[in-house]
């Protein structure tokens, strides 16, 4: 993958000396706006002054479990017998990427590189890219006497990486071709999250708070 600072062909000379009429003259130095643009600035020009804006995925699609975290409220069993209780919960898994922006539809007008990524992703991996996925469920918890029980959910995530290729109609900052590395992680298409029940003995503080 091309690094950001190496993604464009460098100008061979910033200044040149000329001899005219026996005098030594210097060409003015490059303007400040000829400097290397940021990745965000480049991707903001996707389909906005470019002849082509393409995303080239690289490597295999990675599917992996996300971090497990508690969903729904905990259940405190203050009795001397095992108890069964239900908890209804809802949990949303979002996305993250190397640009720190969302690729959801409401952002696509401001960040037009989002649809380019989604189309290339789906064509390459035959999976749907989702910026967020919400799961809801009612779970039955079996909590032993004197213990606290809770549920955790570990979402399945998918990660893709590659490079944006921007070909400008006119030179942008001195070049027609620019390349931007990009990586994104989001909820996996069609993958089921892992739900797990947990329980442990209540602390004295919890017993005093919930069983008083």
Strand partners, 164: 55, 180
Residue 12 lies in a domain: no
Of 207, 56, 66, the C-alpha closest to 145 is 207
Domain count, the chain: 1
In the block, which residue shows the tokens 């001397």? 80
What is the chain's Cα-based Rg? Answer: 27
Reading the chain (212 residues) residue by residue, the pLDDT tens digits are 343 334 443 333 223 322 233 322 333 333 445 678 999 899 988 988 899 999 999 999 999 999 999 999 999 999 999 999 999 999 999 999 998 888 876 566 667 788 999 999 999 999 999 989 999 999 999 999 999 999 999 999 999 999 999 999 999 999 999 999 999 999 998 778 999 999 999 999 999 999 98
Q: Which residue has the tokens 């590189």?
A: 113
Question: Is residue 158 in a domain?
Answer: yes
Write phi, then psi, for 98 (nearest 5 degrees). Answer: -70, -10
145 assigned to some structural domain: yes
Confidence at residue 80, expressed as pLDDT on a 0 to 100 scale = 96
- Is 13 within a domain? no
162: domain range? 39-211
* 108 part of a folded domain: yes
Q: How many CA atoms lie within 13 A of 151 on its CB side?
A: 21
Rounded Cα gap, residues 185 and 172, in angstroms: 30
9, part of any domain: no
Quote the pLDDT of residue 91: 96
pTM, to two decimals: 0.74
User: In angstroms, what CA-CA distances link 202 with 75, 124, 147, 205, 211?
Assistant: 11, 50, 5, 8, 10
Report the run of H or E that residue 39 belongs to, with start and end.
helix 39-43
Residue 85 is assigned to a structural domain of this protein: yes
């Amino acid at each position: 993958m091309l690094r950001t600072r190496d993604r464009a062909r460098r100008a061979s000379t910033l200044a040149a000396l000329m001899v005219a009429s026996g005098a030594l003259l210097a060409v003015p130095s490059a303007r400040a706006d000829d400097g290397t643009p940021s990745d965000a600035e480049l991707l903001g020009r996707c389909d906005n002054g470019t002849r082509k804006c393409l995303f080239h995925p690289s490597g295999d699609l990675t599917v992996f479990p996300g971090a497990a975290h508690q969903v729904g409220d905990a259940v405190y069993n203050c009795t001397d017998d095992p108890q069964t209780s239900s908890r209804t919960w809802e949990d949303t898994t979002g996305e993250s990427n190397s640009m720190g922006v969302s690729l959801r539809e409401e952002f696509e007008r401001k960040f037009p590189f989002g649809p380019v990524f989604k189309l290339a992703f789906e064509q390459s991996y035959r999976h749907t890219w989702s910026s967020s996925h919400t799961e809801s469920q009612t779970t039955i918890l079996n909590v032993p006497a004197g213990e606290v029980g809770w549920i955790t959910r570990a979402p399945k995530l998918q990660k893709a990486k590659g490079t944006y290729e921007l070909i400008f109609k006119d030179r942008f900052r001195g070049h027609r071709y620019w390349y931007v590395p990009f990586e994104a992680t989001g909820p996996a298409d069609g993958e089921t999250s892992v739900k797990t029940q947990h329980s442990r003995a209540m602390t004295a503080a919890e017993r005093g708070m919930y069983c008083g």
